[in-house]
Amino acid sequence: MLPSKVEAERILMEAEQCNPGAWANHSRVTARCAFRIAQRCRGLNPEKAYICGLLHDIGRRFGIRHMGHIYDGFHYMTDMGYDEVARICLSHSFHLKRLGEYVGDVDIEPQQVAELAQALQDMEFDDYDRLIQLCDSLAMAEGVVNMEERMLDVKRRYGTYPQDKWDANFWLRSYFEEKMGRDLYVVVKSA
pLDDT class of 190 with cuts at 50, 70, 90? low
Confirm if 77 and 100 have CB atoms less than 8 A apart.
Answer: no
pLDDT tens digits for 56-93? 999 999 999 999 999 999 999 999 999 999 999 999 99
pLDDT of residue 32: 97
Instruction: Please give the Cα distance from 128 to 48 (Å, whole number).
Output: 8
pLDDT tens digits for 13-59? 999 999 999 999 999 999 999 999 999 999 999 999 999 999 999 99
31 phi and psi angles, rounded to 5 deg: -65, -45
Fold of 5-188: Hypothetical protein af1432 (1.10.3210)
pLDDT of residue 155: 85
pLDDT class of 189 with cuts at 50, 70, 90? confident
Confirm if 52 and 88 have CB atoms less than 8 A apart.
Answer: yes
pLDDT of residue 114: 95
Instruction: Please give the Cα distance from 89 to 79 (Å, whole number).
Output: 13
pLDDT of residue 159: 82
Confirm if 74 and 116 have CB atoms less than 8 A apart.
Answer: yes
Q: Residue 191 above 70 pLDDT?
A: no
Q: Residue 115 above 60 pLDDT?
A: yes
Confirm if 109 and 117 have CB atoms less than 8 A apart.
Answer: no
The pTM of this model reads: 0.94
Confirm if 34 and 53 have CB atoms less than 8 A apart.
Answer: yes
139 in helix, strand or coil? strand
pLDDT tens digits for 120-167? 999 999 999 999 999 999 999 999 999 998 888 888 888 888 888 899
